[in-house]
Amino acid sequence: IFVRKVDLPIEVSGTGTGKVKAWGPLQFNKLSYDLKSSFFRGTAAKESFDELIFNVKSNNGHVRAENISLKKAQSRVHLKGKVKPDASIDSVIVGRQIRLEQSENVSNIGLDVTGEFDFTMSLKGKLPQPDMALHGRLQKVVVGDQPAEDSKFKLKFEPDRISGGGSFIGRTVLTDFIFPLDDQAPFKFNLKTKNWDFAHLFSILSVAAKKKDFETQVTSDIKLASNSGGFWKSRGHINIESVQVRRGAVQMSAPSPIKVKMKDGVINSKDIYLEGDSTFLKLKINNASRESFTTELNTKANMSLISLVTPFMENLKGSLSMALKTEGPFYNPQILGSAYVEEGLVK
């Protein structure tokens, strides 16, 4: 009965002790019990911990958390709340001083980031799929080898959508969104950036990337929304006021603002153009939709700039010339064209 009713979504292991007193009918949603347990030097959700305390009480199936807490060095996580016999939950999980560099999950992904993460998560509704709301704060963050301002965000998980927003790197990046989980839920994606050095994103992924000495910036405003049908039914715009990528003496930037329009899932733009010394990129999007994704790309680019998006390679040199067209559906396009590299070096 216990295993069927409380199937934990995470794996927990460790060495410890526990005791339980139980009375009443052998039916989980009516059983009364007093469970006290503690574990040491174990793992939970693939994260190691120093101590895990799990003390709960049930009175005729009304379960209350007496003390559920986890410690790892200076990091602390506490859970408070209750579960009713009808499997409805009302709980709050609070995490403080979670060190990113001490996280096994962060290390396994290969992210080069340090800092502190504080969060508060509420769970309300029927198990096993209650509504969840998460509020988080990142502080004392270093991305690659560059310090970053604090970031704040919020997420809400509902049966038909995931919504949220936040301000990242101070107020450099602002976002507000709704991602539908079915075709009937609304879609929204708003993003504003102001002089954002987006090269730091690639520094997170690779130590080699932060050695490439890129200078980047983008100032943009994106607003897309639909009442239903998701992204491919949305209306709105993507406006990029300025964008630049520089590495040493080599650079590429937009001589004028880039404007992309979207109407009921159809994308149009003739203004996507970047240029630099002996370098250019021109992208034309003409009535592109999910079922007919038609684009034209022409570029001649210094490959040292392209190496920004290849953090797994230490060095790229040479000149890349490319002319491409896409036709057909977005999920299975036909790509036609040619590309060649002059005096190329890959390391």
Cα–Cα nearest to 86, from 155, 30, 136: 30
From first CA to last CA, the distance across the chain in angstroms is 59
Q: Which residues of the chain have pLDDT under 50?
A: 1-6, 208, 211
DSSP 8-state assignment for residue 234: -
Alpha-carbon gap, residue 191 to 94, rounded angstroms: 28
Enumerate helices (H) and strands (E) in the chain, giving the number of each.
Answer: 4, 22
Query: What per-residue confidence (pLDDT) applies to 312?
Result: 62
DSSP 8-state assignment for residue 6: -
Identify the helix (H) or strand (E) that includes residue 18. strand 12-23
Query: What per-residue confidence (pLDDT) applies to 106?
Result: 86
DSSP 8-state assignment for residue 101: G
Q: Is 185 left (phi over 0), alpha (psi -120 to 50) or beta?
A: beta
Per-state percent for the chain, helix, strand, coil, to nearest 5: 10, 65, 25
Token pair 């509420």 is found at: 122
In three-state secondary structure terms, 15 is strand
Alpha-carbon gap, residue 306 to 313, rounded angstroms: 11
Alpha-carbon gap, residue 299 to 340, rounded angstroms: 11
Query: What per-residue confidence (pLDDT) applies to 313?
Result: 65
**HSE value, Cβ hemisphere, 13 Å, CA-based, for 122:** 10
Alpha-carbon gap, residue 139 to 166, rounded angstroms: 14
Query: What per-residue confidence (pLDDT) applies to 3?
Result: 43
Identify the helix (H) or strand (E) that includes residue 122. strand 113-126
Query: What per-residue confidence (pLDDT) applies to 229?
Result: 94
**Apex 136 CA angle, 134 and 141, nearest 5:** 155
Going along 127-264, which residue ranges are E strands? 131-143, 146-148, 151-158, 161-168, 173-180, 187-196, 214-226, 235-247, 250-253, 258-263
β-strands 316-327, 62-72: how paired? unpaired
**pTM across the whole model:** 0.85
Q: Taking the mean position of all CA atoms in its chain, how far away is CA 119?
A: 15
Query: What per-residue confidence (pLDDT) applies to 206?
Result: 54
